[in-house]
Each structure stands twice: as structure tokens, then as C-alpha cells.
Amino acid sequence: MQKDKEYWLSKHPVAPVTYNSRPIPGTQITYPIDVRRFLAAGDIVIPAIAGTDPDDIVLKAQQFVCLNFSYIPDASLGCPEYWLFASESHARKRGDCEDFSIYMANIILNSISQDHYWRLRVNAGLVGPSLTAPDGGHCWLTWFRMTDNEPVVVDGCYYPDPKVPVAQKPILKENKRYLKNWFSFDITNAFAYEKLELFGRSKDGLSVWKRNGGTCP
């Protein structure tokens, strides 16, 4: 079977996914956000990067973020889970794993043509222990590379490999550090990989699923 755009877009079920990822301003209450709202193309605040082809752009975006962005846990913002929008990460220049991934994703979207938007996904799931952290929840990018349309991990802070060209990165199914995917999303769709908590119904009648991000102390 040819693993093309149609194959990957239909491999996992599309489902509206929300995540309690930010507190209501002035409160300690987190609220659900459609995860796709964290991705945008054409934001004039976010850098655009030139490259020889889309794979090269992805690698240069990974290198840029690894060099110019620092890891700091969400506790620094007074909340156990606080997803920053890309413009906030750009101004702050630090954040945790989802901030690395969302910022890098928006740089890539600003730098590639619309025909390739489907190749980029933000993923939330379970990873194994690293040199600096135990196993647990993590957020990372996958990119369906140009050479064979296989997904490869593009990470900024867990096991970053900014010196490894995209064509030489291990494909996702052979990368044993990334254990389980809860959900993922691109600029258009969200994909559910496990049964999430039913939150409600969208206007078109589809089920809306969410994972709780936690409550601020």
C-alpha cells in the first residue's frame, strides 16, 4: 500500500479534541481549548526559515528552536499545565515540551507551502525515561518526510537530534523512546489514538474528547 497523504490522513480516526491547557485570566481554573487553535500559518510575529526543500526547512527550524529556546517547566507560570501560543513562546524564549513543539510547528508552517501542511503534526503521549527526566507525558512533532512519506520525530527537548538530517532520522515506528500517542493534531484535524473523556458534542454532532490538563494550585 502506498503511504501517501490520503493513507496517513485516514489511518487514525479524526475526532474533535480539546485540552484543559490554560487558566482563565485572573483565576486558577483551566479551560478547554480546541488543540488546533495552537497552530497557525502566516503569523507575522513568528519567524520564517528558508531551506533547500521542506525537509531541510524542518531541520533548520529544529536547529533554530534548540539554539534559541530554553526549557523551563510550567510551574514557573504558577500552573501545572500551561500551553503557550507561539507568539508567547517567541516573546518569552522559554517553555516546556509543548511550547517547544508548538513554537517549532508554527515556524515550520510559516516556512513551507500549504501543500505540505498535512505532513506536520503535534503529538501528545507517553515517552520512556531520558537522561534528564523519568518516563511520562510529553509533546513532540512528527513530520511525514519528503523522501518516503514516513513519519519521523522532530523533538526540541526530550531527545533532540538537530544535527541529524530528516532523511536519516529513524522512522517513528522504529523509535522506541516514543511509547504511546494519546492524540495528535495538524492545522486542520485532530486525531484520537485512544478513548479520551467525552466532553460534549460539537455543532455538527460529533463527539468532543478531552484530556484534563490539571488545576492551578
User: Which is more confidently placed, 167 or 26?
Assistant: 167
Domain assignment present for residue 98? The answer is yes
Domain assignment present for residue 32? The answer is no
Domain assignment present for residue 119? The answer is yes
Domain assignment present for residue 136? The answer is yes
Average pLDDT across the chain, whole number: 86
> How high is the pLDDT of residue 205?
44
Domain assignment present for residue 177? The answer is yes
Indicate the pLDDT class of residue 58, thresholds 50, 70 and 90: very high
What is the count of structural domains for the chain?
1
Task: Name which of 31, 1, 32, 36 is nearest 15 in CA terms.
Answer: 36
Domain assignment present for residue 174? The answer is yes
The proportion of the chain whose per-residue pLDDT surpasses 70, expressed as a percent, equals 86
Torsion angle of the four alpha carbons 6, 191, 103, 180, in this order, in degrees rounded to the nearest 10: -110
Q: Which domain holds residue 114?
A: 5-21+48-211
Would the pLDDT of 126 be above 70? yes
- CATH code at position 117: 3.10.620
User: Which is more confidently placed, 159 or 39?
Assistant: 39
201 - beta bridge partners?
207
Domain assignment present for residue 172? The answer is yes
Tell me the pLDDT tens digit for each residue of 161-193: 999 999 999 999 999 999 988 899 999 999 987
Domain assignment present for residue 31? The answer is no
Would the pLDDT of 207 be above 60? no
> How high is the pLDDT of residue 30?
84
